[in-house]
Amino acid sequence: MDARTAHALGFALGTWAQAAPTKGVPTETAEVVSGAEVVIGMDTRESGPWLAEQVAGGLARAGVKARFAGIITTPGVAYLTRTGPFVAGVMISASHNPYQDNGLKAISHSGYKLPDEVELHLESLMTEWLASGQPAQPLKLTVDASLDNLYTDYLASTVSAKFPLKIVVDCANGAATEVAPRLFKRVGACVDWIGAAPNGRNINLDCGSLHLGNLHKRVLETHADLGIAFDGDADRALFVSGAGKIVDGDAVLFLTGVSLKESGHLPGDVVVATVMSNLGLEKALGSHGIEMLRTPVGDKYVLEEMLRRGAAIGGEQSGHVIFLKYATTGDGLLTALRVLEIIHTSGRTLDNLIAEIKTFPQKLVNVRVKTKRPLSDLSSVQAEILAAEKAFGGSGRVVVRFSGTEPLARVMIEAKTNEEVDEWTGRIANAIQAELGTAP
């Protein structure tokens, strides 16, 4: 990604935003929108400011104004776009990736990702502008602090009590470093902060939801009630219990799902998860009369199923949890508030709340392959999968899929014992290599 690409996205988005969409795509007869605005936010990467100025420059070229929220979370931009006078929003972040990476995420006024047909239209406009050879002129931006405060105010409004808990919070040196301190102060928590000193290059560096070691150590050393870790753009959260247990998205789905059902706010008694969620979650929810629906991996598929079934909650093992009553996307800060609220209301510890979940041993193996063919055409692989499922007898799972971006086949096995998990991941992985070869 370079300056011209960022500028081109701004120009394309601005061109689209200048016309009232017809089925999401502007037409020649569409009514021109006067004074269209787009909100821009970013995480703490050193490339964020110049990318923001190039996006704003592209928007200005198309006659669209940019308002700059500065450092804010991805769900924060989604909230502002949905509730403010904005035709769209742009978040500049590469989530949990290292600081060298960055990305541009466009969000529609609905707060959801842009529809595929709009993305294709924007790509066409970008290609056309890039081919024109015009220079990419950045537009200097000034942070509008009121935007960040609007989001903080909204999060605080979703709870009605104070949570005088002793917690450790890891902001991943990322987007949460601006919002989280204000938010947790307002809800009365006593916080020990780590990963809260961004310098443009330390986002996700040995901290945050992908690196829980420091958080785990600090929780135990300080005898905290729990620890909370966000990723770089704070759309997900993972937890460490007072006893040092890692509490992932599956456990969050369990305790929030059960809480919602007990209060009569779980429509259809369903929770949406993905194929990667542990069988232990499914069984624990089932013991409370809650059905768990599985989707392919990806928050896009979780959200689609939630909307289709009218579900209140859904998410991924990674800690990306969606509460549709409050947000259109996963939000780590919102998830943290929901967990703190349940702990406070129940008078129980996090360890006690998740004790019912008996996690099945799980293993994921990535197999590098020379080619990709439909799994249904691989007879020896299908034979091993069927044999594994028969051996498990309903107390295990097999998930085999190809990576969408790499020459990899992913084999995930759950079973009652680690020995079974090791045996069947090995057998299926070997069968895949025999059928498809091993990539160098």
Q: Which positions are catalytic?
A: 95
Task: Give dist(CA 306, CA 320) in Å, integer.
Answer: 14
- Structure-token match 């692989």, residue found: 381
Give the closest residue to 313 by CA, choosing from 304, 305, 323: 323
Task: Give dist(CA 232, CA 317) in Å, integer.
Answer: 17
Other beta carbons within 10 Å of 263: 9
Give the closest residue to 60 by CA, choosing from 3, 6, 118, 7: 7
Q: For residues 260 and 288, is the Cβ–Cβ distance under 8 A?
A: no
Backbone angles phi, psi at 64, to 5 degrees: -115, 135
Give the closest residue to 212 by CA, choosing from 277, 168, 250, 273: 168
CA 44-144-229 angle, to 5 degrees, is 35
CA 338-340-343 angle, to 5 degrees, is 110
Query: How is the beta sheet containing 291-295 ordered, strand by strand?
Result: 291-295, 270-274, 313-315, 321-323
**Residue 218: helix, strand or coil by DSSP?**
helix
Q: For residues 350 and 168, is the Cβ–Cβ distance under 8 A?
A: no
Name the token pair of 353. 């709340």
Query: How is the beta sheet containing 397-402 ordered, strand by strand?
Result: 362-368, 408-414, 397-402
- Structure-token match 């502002």, residue found: 80
**Which stretches of 242-304 are assigned E, i.e. beta strand?**
246-247, 270-274, 291-295
Q: For residues 288 and 308, is the Cβ–Cβ distance under 8 A?
A: no
Task: Give dist(CA 321, CA 235) in Å, integer.
Answer: 8
Identify the burial level of 368 via C-beta atoms within 10 angstroms of its C-beta, where 0-12 means exposed, 13-18 middle and 19 or more buried.
middle
Task: Give dist(CA 6, CA 58) in Å, integer.
Answer: 8
CA distances from 417 to 390, 395, 398 (A): 15, 10, 14
